[in-house]
Structures are given as structure tokens and as C-alpha cells.
Structure 1
Amino acid sequence: MFQDFKVVRDRPVSIQVKEYVKRLIIKGAYQSDQKLPATREMSDLLKVSRNTVIAAYEGLEDDGFTYTIPGKGSYVAAMVRHSNADNEATASNPTWQIDWKARINEYAASAVELDLMKQGIRAQKGTISFTSIAPDEQLFDLGDVRRAFMDRMAIEGQVLLNYGYAKGYKPLIDYLMRYMENKGVDITGKDMLITNGFTEGFDIVLSALRPSGRQGRAICENPTHHTAIKNLKLQGFEITGIPMERDGIDVEQLESVLKQQSASFDLAYLTPSYHNPTGVVMSPAKRSAVMKLMRRYQIPVIEDGFNEELRYSGAHVAPLIATAGQGNGVIYIGSHSKVLFPGLRVGWVLGDRALIDHLESIKRARTIHTSTFDQAILYQYLLNGNFDKYVKKARMEYKRKYELTKACCEAYLPEAQLSGDGGLHLFLTFPPSVNTRQLLEACTEQGVIFTPGDKFFIQEGEGTNTLRLGFSRVSDEDIKQGIQIIGEQVRRLLK
């Protein structure tokens, strides 16, 4: 006994001692009413100070594990214990085991099957990875974030640490409503719900719009965001994909599908800016045409505001919800995760007031509310005027990396057709004979990984000659070296 006690750095030693002795009591090494070693003896056994042991014993008594007899010492308190025989397996009484795989429902099984992270390749140390499209943490302005934290805590710290509201932190809602208004959105008759990032907002909206008594049907760009495909399928939607062109969704194909099947669709999911995975920005003409079609056929639109702020060149293009005017047919889901800090899980759903009222109740039933702490820090950061300064810096750095990545692809991957007008990634389409799953296997052996593009297509077997190249967190040297290696492996496959 006591030989396995090791002090861990950066944690109060008295708490470590308390937890160690507590484990001994729970395991039965000390029995009820048995006296613990005296504080001086225990300090020698554990090689810690006597004051540390005194503090640990006080903590054990506070937690109800020991009691003190004045002048005699600390004793183990009586505990309700189960007999070991209750859990011992015998021929007539086998150990209680449940086959959880047999109990798992279709929803849970599908979630595993669609889990891109579980199916992805684990990058070994030193691997050049183009799989991430998260922001580069080296750009995070920690000083401004720390200042926002201190400012908000000084104003209402006690409030922030208590329960919040399902709808969200009102100062942040008010700020984001003005933010969306500055994008040209008419907020008349609209309201907002704060969520844990885009994904929760999307899932809540789908759960509210999923039809009862039949399978839902959704229309979207093809390829599209894998998280959207995953959640649509998990919510029971059948998905119809419309091909992408250089300036956005194929409007003629969209109109053709709607003419044939318009009554079948419950919603459309669209990402008009820096589309994931193609990186395409839908042209103003196509935005107008798409909205006319959705209005004509009365199909509600879920607009993904993905990476909308990472515009490198050209004029601002208004979101679809702005083109709807006072109409309520568009539900906008926004987040600053890709622009600012993914660690602050804050997103928002902007839509018709009656819809938001229902979404608020769904949110309350599921998670009560989004962390008020996260919301308040983000609000103060935005209020302090840091967002524009940060985005300007981020745009400059990502534009530089974008141009470097594009130049390297043009030099080392002439076989590929590139798409991507900004954001944090490029999308590559190779000749049909190039299977990017096989290419990934070959590149992995050379220390380079990327995301195969078929993950973003609706039907199995589509996009097998495509890949997404995320450059936001890759160094300049690794961008050059990694793309050169991909190029070498492509030519090997083509031979």
C-alpha cells in the first residue's frame, strides 16, 4: 500500500492525497471504523508535508468518508457496500452482460456509419495534413479575447455563471441582428435563436421541419457539406442533389427537377458563399434565379452562411435571406467558427418569428441553453471592435495561403481542374481514371493526407475522382512539399 502514490504537477497535492485515500476506502483497503494513519505517519508514507495530509483529511471528512474522534484521530465512516458476491459470476448466476450492439437503433448505427472523423485516417506525427478547414490558431488574438473575458466578467460575472435562456444571451442576439441587418437583411418579422455552432442549429431546424408520417425530401447542391448530408440522413430525409457549375448551382437542372417533383420537397439546403467543398461563390444572377424558383414552388430554404466573411476579392454579395426582403421563406444559419474561434461553440438561426418560437422550445428540451459564458465572451469581443481588425488580418493571411496553394496546384497538378474563390480550401477534380481513395493510400505512405471528395456527394460512387485540399493550418513549406508529393502519386496512378 502507498507505493503507487505519485504526485502530479500543476494540481494541489492535498486534493491528490484526499482522492488517493478515498480510492483506498472505496476499494475496501480500509474498512468502516478503521483508524487512518496519523497525519505525521501518513506524510512520511506518501512523502508529502504534514499540512498537506491535514488538509486532505479535512476534505475526506467534509465528503463524508471519515469522521474524527478528538484526541484519537481520523476513522473511516460506515459506507453502504454491496457484497462482492452480488457481482461474482457463477454457473447458475452469470455476470450481467448486455449486447449493446444488438440494442442500438438505426439512428445510432447510421451515426457511426456516417461519422467522417471515425472513418478518417489518423495522421502520424510529421504527416502533412490537408484535411482540416479550421482556422489557424496562430492568428488568434489572445490578448483581445482575454480582455473581452475580463471586461464581461467584471460587468456581470455572477450572472454568466448561472443558467441562461434557451433563446440566447440577449445582448448577443441584439448585436447579431444588427450584424445581419448590415448584410442587407430585412429583419422585419424575424427573430434569432443562439445555438452550439452551425451543426446544432441545422439539426434543430431539420427536426422541426421533418414531416410526420412520411419520409422527408430535401434538395441541395451536389457535392455539399458532409455534415449536412449526415444530419439530413439521420433525420430521415431523402436527398436530391443538383450539380454545381463554376458560378454555383446548375439553375436549369434545378428548375427541371422542381417542375417534375416540386410537390415532393420539404426544404432546400444551400451554401451560396465559399461552398463546402467546391469553394464556389454563387453569382448574384444565380442567387436571384434560385430565389425566384424557391418562391414559385414554395420550398423553404436553409441557407448556410459558411465562411461568408472570408472574401478575398470582389464586391460583397448579399446572402439569400437578404434577397428575400420581408419574405420569410429563408432560414439563415450562421457561425463565426471558421472565421474566429471554433472553441467558442456559438452559432445562430435567423428566421421567421413563429418558427424561432418553436425552435426555442426544441432547444430548451434538448440542451436548456448554449453556454452563456461563451456567448458573453463573444459578445464583448465583438462589442470591443475586435472582429473587423481580426478578419482583416485573417483575410490577408488566408489569401496569401490560397494563392500559394493555387499556384502549387497549377504547377504540380496540371491534371486537376481547380475550384474555389476563397475561404480555407480548394476543390480538385481529376480525370475519371484517377480514384482519389487509391491516391490517398499512395500519398499516406509518403506522409501526405487529404479529404477524398466522394464524401461530399449525395450518391455512393459519385466524385471518386475529386478531393478537398484544406490549407488554413498548413505551413508554406508543407503546402509546396505536400502538393508536389500528391502530383507525383497522381502521375504514377495515370501510368
Structure 2
Amino acid sequence: MFTDFKLMDDRPVYIQVKDYMKRLITKGALQANQKLPSTRELGMLLNVSRNTVVAAYADLEEEDLIYVERGKGNFVTPSAVGVTDAEALQVSWQVDWKQHLNELARTAEEEDIMKRGIRSAQGMISFTSIAPDEKLFDMNNFRRAFLDRMSLEGDIVLNYGYAKGYKPLIDYLLRYMENKGVDLAGKDILITNGFTEGLDIVLSSLNKKHGRILCENPTHHTALKNFKLHGFAITGVDIEPDGISLQKLELALSQQAFDLAYLVPSYQNPTGIVMSHEKRIAAARLLARHGVPILEDGFNEELRYSGSHVAPLIACGGGSNSIIYAGSYSKILFPGLRVGWLLADKELIDYLVSVKRARTIHTSTLDQSVLYQYLHNGYFEKYLKRAKAEYKRKYELAVQCCHSFIPCQRLSGDGGLHLFLEFEKEFDTRALLDSCRDKGVIFTPGTIFYTDGGGSNTMRLGFSRVADEDIIKGTKRIGEAVLQMM
């Protein structure tokens, strides 16, 4: 005994000794009322100082894991001793958990592309991610924002917060959305744990009168997964170079009734297409005429590299309360913060706040407050200029390389952090992926984004976290593999 203790460099030694002894006690390796080695003896056995053991024993006594008998030593508290292996065998029972899982859990596992997706080995060029490049993160100013907020109200932001969100951040986001041209009359904001929780809360709250959702085809895989988890049937409407096909949208609306329309008008995932201003107004009118509310995903809205600003759908609706806007800074700022928001009709937000409170109580107040301070200090505007310049450069390099090396039929992507490639109808990008993997390159085949099982001839290339030389090498290798398959 005591021979398997190993020290780690980055943790106080006395805590490591305490945790080690605690494991021995709670796992039953040390028996009730068993006398422990003296502080000097245990120090020698574990190769640590006697003072370290004294501090560890003091903590164990405070946690009532050991007790002291003056003049005799330290002993194991009987109530702290864990169940022995022999005792555990007597109550052993193996549950077949698959038989206890519901349809939601099964669907979530089936649709989990992180488990079934493309694995990136060391040294491989990966175009699968569309997350921001952490090398661009504004660490110094974020640290300043954190210290500023903690000095002002650290005792408050480390306590429970409000389900609706941190008020200074809500007020900031309301002004932020107003600057995008949104009429805020009758609207309010709910802070969420990123876009995904916002989507889940909305879907959980909807009355499934028709049980069907309308969206673009292809569209965001996470959204498709959540529609399925909530039991909605999905109708996809094809996308044209300037956004959703209005003709096919009108046809779908005339054939079926829908509970919700989910649209990604800016730098659409996966196509990267920006819906034109004219189409935004026409699509909003069509959906309003058929009584279908809209959930607008403000995905990558800030990553405009050229052209004029296009107002979000929710700004096209004027005083209408039929559009819900889901926003997030995850794709441009710090996705690790997991802060997003829903902007919608006040009455709806009031209900969504109650759903949020019942599920997660509130989004981390610390994260919200630090994000607010970062935004309030003006750091975001400076960071955005620098990040956009870098991503624009990478975007232009990626577009140039695709045109030079990959013989595709169509390339789309008006900005953002990814490009979308289409080949001839009979081309198979999953077979292409197998070939490219052997060449040390991976990407995302387009099939996961389609509502109708299509897209086998498409692929998404995320370039945000790929070095320049790897963008060049990777696209060359993909192009070589395409030519070999043609």
C-alpha cells in the first residue's frame, strides 16, 4: 500500500496527498478505525515533506474522514469507509441502458456527427471546422474586461443571476440590434447558452399544430438535428445564388401548413450564400401571408467582407411580431463563453424565460458580465476589424485556390468562414473524402446538411483555422483526388 502515489507538477502537494488518502478511505482500501501511518512515516512512504502530510491530515480531519486520538495517532472514521468489493458484488446489477432510453436520446446519438464524423489525425490538414481561429483571440483586452468587471461587482456576478439574463448585456444587445435597423417596439431579449439552447427553447415551447418545419435545403446540421429531436417533420426549399427560391417556397406553402420557418439569410451554413434584400422582404411577406412565424439565425452576420450591409429579416418585418432572431458572437468572438440571445415579441420572451428558468436557471452571469464589459469598453469593434481583415485574406486565398486546383461545377460563399463546392450530379464526395484522407486532408461532405438525403455531390470547406500553406497544399490534394475520380 502507498506505493502507487504519483505527484503532478501543477497542483499543491498537500492536496494531492489528501485526495490520495481520501480515495483509499472511500474505496475501502483502508478499514474503519484503522490507524494511519505517522506524519513522518507517511512522508517517507510518499516521498513528501512531513509538513505536507500534516496539512493533508488536517484537511482529512476537517472533512471527518479521519479522527485523532491524542498520544495514539490518526485513525479512519468508520462512516467514511466505502463499500468493499465483496459487499459491492452482493448488490451488483447490470442495467441494459439501451432498453431504458427514449426516442430523443436514440435520435441524438444517431445524429451525433462528433461521434460519427471525420477524425483528424496529427499532421492532417482539416477543413472541417468553421470555428474562429483562437490565434486571433484578443486575450489582453479580454483579461482587462474580466478584471474590470470583477473589481466592480465580482461578488454579484459569482452568485445566482436572472433567467432572462444580465441586464447591462440585454440593454447593450437591444441597442446593437436597433443599430441593425430593428424596430424594438414590443420586443425583448432572452440570453441563452449560445444559439443551440435558444433553438431548443423555442422548439420546446411551440405548439405542434402541424408538426412540420420549413427551412432552406441544405441548412445547418445542428438545426436539423434539433428538429428531429423534437419530432418535427422537415420540408427543405432549394437555395439559389441570391438565397431561398421564392417560387419553390410559395409552392411548399401552398401544399402544406407549417409551425415554423427556419432561415439563415446571411452567410448561410453550409452554402455561405447571402440572401438579397429583395428576397428577404419577399420571403417574409410570403410566410406572413401563410401565417408561418420565422426563426432567423443570425449566423456569421458580422463577417461581411465586401458589398453593402443587408438588414436582417427581423428588420424587414417592421412592427411585426412574427420573427424570432437568434444571435450569437460564437463564430466571430469567443465560442467558449456560450452566450447567445433571442430577440422576439415581449409576450413570447416572457414564456421562454420561464422555460429557460425551469431548465438551466440562467446562463453564466460571469460569462455574460465579462462579455458585456468587453463590448462596453469598445474592444469588440477593434477586434472585429482585425479579425475581418485576416478572415477576408484567408477567404480570398481559399477562393483562389479552389478556382485554381479543384475542378468543381459551382463554388459559393459570399463571406464567413467557409466555402461550399458542388460537383456533377453523379460525383460522390464521401468517396472523395476517403481518397483525400489517404492524402492527409479532410473536409465535410455535404450530405449531412440536406433535408432530403441529397447533397452527395457537395462539400463544405472551413478555412478559418487552416494556415495559408495548408490551404494551398490541402486544396491541391483535393483537386488531385477529384481529377483521379473523374
TM tier, smaller: over 0.9
Give me the whole-angstrom Cα distance separating, in 2, the residues matched to 1:432 and 1:296: 35
The match for 2:221 among 220, 226, 249 is 226
- Residues 388-422 of structure 1, C-alpha deviation per residue, up to 9 Å, x if partnerless? 11111111101100000000000001333100000
Equivalent residue number for residue 377 of structure 1: 370
SS in 2 for 1:124: coil
Q: Give the whole-Å Cα distance in 2 for the aligned partners of 1:314 and 1:421.
A: 9
* CA–CA separation in structure 1 for the residues paired with 2:411 and 2:254: 32
| Counterpart in the other structure of 1:182 | 179
Letter paired with 1:464 = S
CA–CA distance in structure 1, aligned partners of residues 413 and 302 of structure 2: 15
Does structure 2 retain, via aligned residues, the 8 Å contact 1:35–1:73?
Answer: yes
Residues 329-357 of structure 1 deviation map (CA, whole Å, 9 limit, x = unaligned) = 10000000001000010000000001000
Change (3 A) 1:415 1:85: closer
Q: Does the residue aligned with 1:88 lie in a helix, a strand or coil?
A: helix
The 5-angstrom pairing of residues 252-291 of structure 1 reads: 252-261=247-256, 264-291=257-284
Contact 1:210 1:235 (8 Å CA) reproduced:
no
Could you tell me how far 1:252 is from its partner in structure 2?
1.0
* C-alpha contact 2:28 2:83 (8 A) present in aligned 1: no
Distance 1:294 1:23, change over 3 A: same
User: Does the CA contact (< 8 Å) of 2:210 and 2:258 recur in 1?
Assistant: no
| Partner residue of 1:428 out of 421, 425, 437 | 421
Query: What one-letter code is carried by the residue in structure 1 that aligns with 2:76?
Result: V
CA distance in 2, matches of 1:131, 1:53: 49
Structure 2 partner of 1:237: 232
| Aligned residue identity for 1:26 | T
Matches within 5 A, 1:119-198: 119-198=116-195
**Alpha-carbon deviation of 1:73?**
1.9
Give a deviation string over 1:186-234, Cα, whole Å, max 9, x none: 11100110000000000101111141xx661111100000001000111
Alignment of 1:480-495 (within 5 A): 480-494=472-486
Question: C-alpha separation between the residues in 2 aligned to 1:66 and 1:132?
Answer: 50
Equivalent-residue separation in structure 1 for 2:465 and 2:400 (angstroms): 17
| CA distance in structure 2 between the aligned counterparts of 1:273 and 1:58, rounded to whole angstroms | 60
Once the 2 structures are TM-superposed, how far is the Cα of residue 433 of structure 1 from its aligned partner?
2.4
Is the 8 Å Cα contact of residues 215 and 236 (structure 1) preserved in structure 2?
no
**8 Å contact from structure 2 (residues 260, 292) kept in 1:** yes
C-alpha separation between the residues in 1 aligned to 2:24 and 2:297? 53
Does the aligned pair in 1 maintain the 2:408–2:421 contact within 8 Å? no
Aligned equivalents of 1:441, 1:414: Cα separation in 2:
18
Which residue matches 2:19?
A: 19
Which amino acid is 2:101 matched to?
I
Answer with 147-156 or 431-440: which moved more.
431-440
Cα 1:158–1:238, aligned 2, differ >3 Å: closer, same or farther?
same
- Using a 3 Å threshold, how does the CA distance of structure 1 residues 39 and 292 change in structure 2: closer, same or farther? same
Amino acid in the other structure paired with 1:88: L
Report the alpha carbon displacement of residue 102 of structure 1 after superposing the two structures with TM. Answer: 1.6
Please tell me the residue identity of whatever aligns with 1:292.
R
Identity, % of aligned positions:
63
- List alignment gaps of at least 5 residues for structure 2: none
Q: How many residues were matched structurally?
A: 485
Structure 1 residue 105, shift from structure 2 partner:
1.1
Residue 83 of structure 1 and its aligned partner are, at CA, apart by 6.1
Partner SS state of residue 350, structure 1: strand
8 Å contact kept, 2:120–2:442: yes
Equivalent residue number for residue 216 of structure 1 = 211
1:82 CA drift (Å)? 4.4
Counterpart-to-counterpart distance in 1, 2:108 and 2:207: 18
For residues 279 and 347 of structure 2, the distance between their equivalents in structure 1, rounded to whole angstroms, comes to 29
SS state at 1:138 partner: helix
- Deviation digits for residues 244-280 of structure 1, max 9, x if unmatched? 000000011111221232xx11110000000000000
The Cα offsets for residues 161-185 of structure 1, whole Å up to 9 and x where unpaired, read as 1111100001100000000000000
- CA–CA distance in structure 1, aligned partners of residues 26 and 289 of structure 2: 68
| Whole-Å separation in 1 of the counterparts to 2:85 and 2:37 | 26
| Secondary structure, aligned partner of 2:89 | coil
What is the TM-score when the length of structure 1 is the normalising length?
Answer: 0.96
2:28/2:82 contact within 8 Å kept: no
Tell whether 2:387 aligns with 1:394: yes
**Residues 133 and 66 (structure 1), Cα distance of their counterparts in 2 relative to 1, 3 Å cut:** same
Once residues 84 and 431 of structure 1 are traced to their aligned partners in structure 2, the CA distance between those partners, rounded to angstroms, is 62
Q: Deviations over 1:146-173 (max 9, x none)?
A: 0000000000001111111100001100
Aligned mate of 1:320, from 297, 313, 317: 313
TM-score by length of 2: 0.98
Name the SS of the counterpart of 1:434 in structure 2: coil
Aligned equivalents of 2:77, 2:382: Cα separation in 1 = 59
Would the aligned equivalents of 1:434 and 1:490 in 2 still touch at CA under 8 Å? no
Secondary structure class of the residue paired with 1:469: strand
Q: What do residues 272-318 of structure 1 show as CA deviations (whole Å, max 9, x unaligned)?
A: 00000000000011011111111211110000000000000111110
**Whole-Å separation in 2 of the counterparts to 1:343 and 1:310:** 19
3-state secondary structure, aligned to 1:218: strand
Unaligned runs of 5+ in 1: none
| Secondary structure at the counterpart of residue 316 of structure 1 | coil
Distance 2:134 2:184 in 1: 34
Q: Once the 2 structures are TM-superposed, how far is the Cα of residue 81 of structure 1 from its aligned partner?
A: 5.2
Supply the RMSD in Å over aligned alpha carbons: 1.2
